[in-house]
Structure 1
């Protein structure tokens, strides 16, 4: 059970909640903040004050006053009209993350919702009732309005949730089965539920969890390639990396040395060649730079996971209500674009290592690692697939955050496109994992020609685990199945939670 406070949620906790399905509870101090914030909203309504989103319309309609007897209609109309998401739904894990993040934002006590709203969100999380939320339709400013509206629909008993088989079912049917009572939204509550960055952050958190694992996997796979090509370990000497000073670069070099400790296949400067190609020699520099980006992304995600991102925000017991712009997703949009580039580069350099493994002009191995060169093609077309994925990544890595398009009659004239950044980052992570799967398959095969008995002990254990997934290439077969099997092996999130695939 993880206690949510609105201030201390970490990615590790989100991983436990969203991957391992750990339950949540709300800190009493946070519930008191919710009660006080709600009392302020009720006072505003009773005094008929002019406050955006509470007694007025939304966006360009912010100058339209709403009578007290229409406040509930205003919130219901908002959710129904804004539920304009399209396309395939986010995965169930992303949906769960979205609920947790929205709950954590609301219990900060700046949003003015009733305790029953946050209690229902916690109940749905703990009963694993997850909204079906279309991926497309958010501009990433004014909040993730369309995706979060589909989440809010579920709270009022409408919309769809994931059924036991992963397919959409009517919320009303599941509520009846699980004995859950929907709510009737009151003043400010609809707006508080949808004005936020939780779709892009939820997708971003899942991206980070998978990208972090992919970055670690890229190192032992690169180490396998080093053994396969009898690479020069001197390039990983600590003095080289201390001379430059990047902590992440030094850490990658250390982990590479650890993986290769005891190997009889690696060489020293001058043994076989003076220096290796960049894709081997510069592993700490390139992978280390990607780790720098990952560290940046993690920092921004954890700040945003504990942020109040709706509008308006209520301070000083309702005496100070400010209409601001914390819903603008620019910090996460930039972070997701950075993540896209960082992960794409892990695939980029991995594909170059694949080329060195299969190209007979660049190694002393059988051409394309074929058991019968000429008669059998071996890993020839695996490299094609890796090249295709890397090329696709280059188009996806174009930053979505540099685009903006005005909305709401130009009232909302600059938007972040952060949810698009997060979605494209997810695709790049999927593509990059498959490139690493291809490198792994090729390195597993190549190291057999060099002598498995000479491998570093840690890498030999990895070789044994991976060989249980993909057998040795003794003749040509449908390698697509091997590549997918290795891809799944490299994604423990999917293995632990069969609904955790980012895109269904």
Structure 2
């Protein structure tokens, strides 16, 4: 599979394919034309004596310190001097997502990076040489400290992974048939001064959340059947009466899943619990948040977010704050809260399903009754999962202190906002699996009820991982298998 950058906007699917399927990246010819133009403009500006941040000046608090000798060597110093990250290294797939993201951003042409160094990054990605990158060190005002590991790997320093082995980067490059990059003026800063970690992981988070959301819809529909929900709540007129974001569309999706169900011919309760009755509005909020996060990520993927920026059309170089990502951080904080809200409704339905003789279901969803625990012990797991999700949903984007002698007195914490969202998805996936297990059991315990074809397909999917519970047994393995199936999409 090949991905072409520069012939149209890059998207989250591109990043996922590169990160997870090792898709080969090609570059459109017009990208190199932009890079050549931008580099020529940058060189002319530098030759004219213009002060250019990070080329002939220091960074951050050293802004007023001129760099007049060994400008090229300064780029190596700049890269080495920001290698201050810590924490568990990024995974192979996340590192690839970061590399692909930075490549996509550079293809916009605003950095002034040397075309040769751009090509080196492309080769590093396609040859599958992955610098070992730390996970902690960015406060969301660009990911310089984290991206320094990427640049170090390109110049043959630090450590990199190649063919499953971590070794000194110089050795990894040699094994892959590559040479260390030779950084020219501003090339080091061009590699570092961006939010590629936030955006790269953000692309994977949104990709995964979209896939998991479909399973959450299916779990909610299966619970609707198991609990004997009232489908009249999905009537189009009711949704149009208060057309909140995504509500109409989510009601339509649930209606389609319930097509052919005997619920449409029975006499259900007038009003169901809110976790059933309000599915369209709860899911609609998440759908809207996902759209916002996807849009924010794809704006960044295709943006010239460098500082300083080469404005090709105007043939000048200007300082900018385009590396700053408050909108991205806010989008993922919103997404996290929306996921938590949907997760809370899923947990509530699970409690309804596994409670004491609710909606005509046997106590604890036990097929044998008596002293059988049935599904009730799993309530503790569900509540623990929800507590962890709610904890991760707490916003972090306002948690910063001024650094660099007050020059950097605002931050977005976008890396943390995105990474905790990734953690939430792992927890949410387990919670969705719990609801699916309970809802499938509920449907099994109502043999007189007939479900529609879509629900029967969902039920078969669950049963491919977990047999119906009769006598009490451990469900941990069943749960793990179903979680694995959900992660495979």
Same fold (TM over 0.5): yes
Partner residue of 1:449 out of 440, 445, 451:
445
Q: Do residues 226 (structure 1) and 227 (structure 2) align?
A: no
Q: Do residues 288 (structure 1) and 284 (structure 2) align?
A: yes
The alpha-carbon distance between structure 1 residues 319 and 231, as it changes in their structure 2 partners (threshold 3 A), is closer
The alpha-carbon distance between structure 1 residues 174 and 316, as it changes in their structure 2 partners (threshold 3 A), is closer
The alpha-carbon distance between structure 1 residues 372 and 170, as it changes in their structure 2 partners (threshold 3 A), is farther
The alpha-carbon distance between structure 1 residues 296 and 103, as it changes in their structure 2 partners (threshold 3 A), is same
Q: Shift of residue 56 of structure 1? A: 1.0
C-alpha separation between the residues in 1 aligned to 2:314 and 2:54? 14
C-alpha separation between the residues in 1 aligned to 2:382 and 2:29? 52
Q: Do residues 79 (structure 1) and 67 (structure 2) align?
A: no
The answer as to whether partners of 2:89 and 2:134 remain within 8 angstroms in 1 is: yes
The answer as to whether partners of 2:364 and 2:376 remain within 8 angstroms in 1 is: yes
The alpha-carbon distance between structure 1 residues 238 and 364, as it changes in their structure 2 partners (threshold 3 A), is same
Partner of 1:102: 102
Q: Shift of residue 225 of structure 1? A: 0.6
Partner of 2:200: 202
Partner of 1:19, secondary structure, is: helix
C-alpha separation between the residues in 2 aligned to 1:420 and 1:6? 32
- Unaligned segments of structure 1, at least 5 residues: 494-504
Partner of 1:240: 238
Partner of 2:354: 358
What whole-Å deviation, never above 9, does each CA across 1:203-242 have from its counterpart, x for those lacking one?
A: 1111101111121111111111111111111111122112
Partner of 2:317, secondary structure, is: strand
Partner of 2:131, secondary structure, is: coil
Q: Do residues 341 (structure 1) and 337 (structure 2) align?
A: yes
Partner of 1:502: none
Partner of 2:88: 88
Q: Do residues 25 (structure 1) and 26 (structure 2) align?
A: yes
Q: Shift of residue 73 of structure 1? A: 2.4
What whole-Å deviation, never above 9, does each CA across 1:178-226 have from its counterpart, x for those lacking one?
A: 1011212121011111111111111111110111112111111111111
C-alpha separation between the residues in 2 aligned to 1:382 and 1:169? 44
Q: Shift of residue 375 of structure 1? A: 3.5
- Map 1:308-387 onto structure 2 (within 5 A): 308-316=304-312, 320-387=316-383
The answer as to whether partners of 1:207 and 1:426 remain within 8 angstroms in 2 is: yes
Mean alpha-carbon deviation: is it higher for 188-197 or for 150-159?
Answer: 150-159
Partner of 2:139: 139
Partner of 2:424: 428
Partner of 1:300, secondary structure, is: helix
Q: Shift of residue 372 of structure 1? A: 3.7
Q: Shift of residue 473 of structure 1? A: 1.5
C-alpha separation between the residues in 1 aligned to 2:474 and 2:76? 53
TM-score normalised per structure 2:
0.95
The answer as to whether partners of 2:429 and 2:486 remain within 8 angstroms in 1 is: yes
C-alpha separation between the residues in 2 aligned to 1:160 and 1:268? 65
C-alpha separation between the residues in 2 aligned to 1:131 and 1:197? 17
Partner of 1:135, secondary structure, is: coil
- Map 1:154-169 onto structure 2 (within 5 A): 154-165=153-164, 168-169=166-167
What whole-Å deviation, never above 9, does each CA across 1:342-396 have from its counterpart, x for those lacking one?
A: 1111111000000001001533222222244453322112121111111122221
Q: Shift of residue 72 of structure 1? A: 2.5
Q: Shift of residue 299 of structure 1? A: 1.2
The answer as to whether partners of 1:6 and 1:306 remain within 8 angstroms in 2 is: no
C-alpha separation between the residues in 2 aligned to 1:170 and 1:456? 58
Question: What root-mean-square deviation, in Å, do the aligned CA atoms of Structure 1 and Structure 2 show?
Answer: 2.0
Q: Shift of residue 21 of structure 1? A: 2.7
Mean alpha-carbon deviation: is it higher for 432-441 or for 11-20?
Answer: 11-20
Q: Do residues 474 (structure 1) and 473 (structure 2) align?
A: no
The answer as to whether partners of 1:150 and 1:159 remain within 8 angstroms in 2 is: yes
TM-score normalised per structure 1:
0.92
Partner of 1:193, secondary structure, is: helix
C-alpha separation between the residues in 2 aligned to 1:219 and 1:368? 23
The answer as to whether partners of 1:203 and 1:423 remain within 8 angstroms in 2 is: yes
Q: Shift of residue 452 of structure 1? A: 8.5
The alpha-carbon distance between structure 1 residues 117 and 157, as it changes in their structure 2 partners (threshold 3 A), is same
The alpha-carbon distance between structure 1 residues 218 and 338, as it changes in their structure 2 partners (threshold 3 A), is same
Partner of 2:456: 460
Q: Shift of residue 18 of structure 1? A: 2.8
Q: Do residues 256 (structure 1) and 254 (structure 2) align?
A: yes
Mean alpha-carbon deviation: is it higher for 452-461 or for 95-104?
Answer: 452-461
Partner of 2:246, secondary structure, is: helix
Q: Do residues 186 (structure 1) and 184 (structure 2) align?
A: yes
- Unaligned segments of structure 2, at least 5 residues: none
The answer as to whether partners of 2:15 and 2:204 remain within 8 angstroms in 1 is: no
C-alpha separation between the residues in 1 aligned to 2:314 and 2:162? 41
